[in-house]
Amino acid sequence: MIQLRRHLGYPRRVALILSAAMLLSGSLLVLLGEWQKWTEDQTFGAAQVAMRQAFGVFPQDADNPAVSTEETVDTTRVTGLIESPTIGLSVAVVDYIEYNDLETAVARMTTSSELGKPGTSVVVGHRTGFGKPFFDIDRLNVGDSINVTLRDGTELKFAVTLQRIVSPSADLSEFEDANAASQLILVTCHPKYSVEERLIIVAELLYGGTQ
């Protein structure tokens, strides 16, 4: 009987070892995920500091030291700065060339109008990961302000007119207003931590811009 009990104990010990190994591997996966998020945010943050310094709206000082941009960040590509005091949004914009652009900024789709020009400008950005610049744009309500400063110093003020959840393949032209001098559409994934749908914020130019 003693030997039998001893043998019956082996499966339990194996089960405990396997359980511990599974818990450890799960913890490692969680840590790896958090480390990846941290590195993504660091990449985005460093690029944004460099872009804003080059743009002249985030001058270098003791609190904001110069950032090396030798590897990946081309600060000459910055076309503007999008801000919304309602949600604490402040992010540099580049013209979209490739998907990796969203690792360092938000990007205007080059098939859309230039910021502040007649027509509709479509700007896309991550909602989670890589600085999550558009994380809180769902908090923008009709009438809230979105301010854009262009590279040449031109200031544009937009007011939110619409918030919608659409499919990834939605035709954004249906949200264009022919009577608006200029429109801005912000696009990001929805819901948070998913790519199932898209959240769009439509805003109309109140003043600024060129015809």
- pLDDT tens sequence across 60-97: 444 444 444 445 678 889 999 999 999 999 999 999 99
How many angstroms separate the CA atoms of 194 and 132, rounded? 13
What is the structure's pLDDT at 64? Answer: 47
- Residue 21 pLDDT class (50, 70, 90 cuts): low
**Pairwise pLDDT comparison (103 vs 39), residue with the higher score:** 103
**Pairwise pLDDT comparison (41 vs 124), residue with the higher score:** 124
All domains in the chain, ordered by first residue: 77-207 (2.40.260.10)
> What mean pLDDT do residues 164-192 have?
94
State the residue for tokens 């019956």: 8
Assess contact for 165 and 198: CB atoms under 8 A.
yes
Sign of CA dihedral 171, 163, 57, 62: negative
What is the structure's pLDDT at 4? Answer: 47
CA–chain centroid gap for 94, Å, is 13
**Pairwise pLDDT comparison (26 vs 198), residue with the higher score:** 198
Element spanning 82, H or E: strand 78-84
Element spanning 95, H or E: strand 89-95
pLDDT at 6 over 80: no
> What mean pLDDT do residues 127-143 have?
95
What is the structure's pLDDT at 74? Answer: 85
What is the structure's pLDDT at 30? Answer: 58
- pTM for the model stands at 0.78
What is the structure's pLDDT at 52? Answer: 83
pLDDT at 19 over 80: no
What is the structure's pLDDT at 100? Answer: 92
Tell me what percent of the residues of the chain surpass a pLDDT of 70: 75
What is the structure's pLDDT at 61? Answer: 45
> What mean pLDDT do residues 190-197 have?
95
What is the structure's pLDDT at 17? Answer: 73
pLDDT at 172 over 80: yes
> What mean pLDDT do residues 28-37 have?
63
- Any alpha helices (H) in 56-90, and if so which ranges? none
